[in-house]
Amino acid sequence: MYRLSNLPGMRTVKLRRVLKHPEFTLPDGASSTGSDFMINKKLERGEVFAYDAYAFNEDYEMVEGEWIFQIWFEDKKLIEQTFNTYWPEQDNS
């Protein structure tokens, strides 16, 4: 979750959402190291209250390493959250 305040006096704001993650291979054979796209958020009382998430739904996403979520406004990084994933070894005995 995040809350942004003191934004310019407008009804909506364009934010850039960046996700960086360890490289994995998609089912079509392409590799991915993240995503970068624009989102529009509605301002209420000059603020944005929102959340971002990622679900590990597919086996190919189960890679160890550093994941970074960022939210940008214009050329300024407003938020960054970093975490590391690791997958415990399975005991298949």
User: What pLDDT was estimated at residue 78?
Assistant: 94
Q: How many domains does the chain divide into?
A: 1
Residue 30 belongs to domain spanning: 2-85
Question: pLDDT tens-digit profile of 46-68?
Answer: 899 998 888 999 999 999 999 99
The answer to the question of residue 30 being in a domain is yes
Work out whether strand 65-73 and strand 2-4 pair parallel, antiparallel, or are unpaired.
Answer: unpaired
Q: Cα 54 vs. chain centroid, distance in angstroms?
A: 7
The answer to the question of residue 93 being in a domain is no
- Residue whose C-alpha is closest to residue 34's, from 77, 76, 1, 66: 66
CATH of residue 64: 2.60.40.2390
The answer to the question of residue 91 being in a domain is no
- Its pTM stands at 0.85
Helix (H, G, I), strand (E, B) or coil at 27: coil
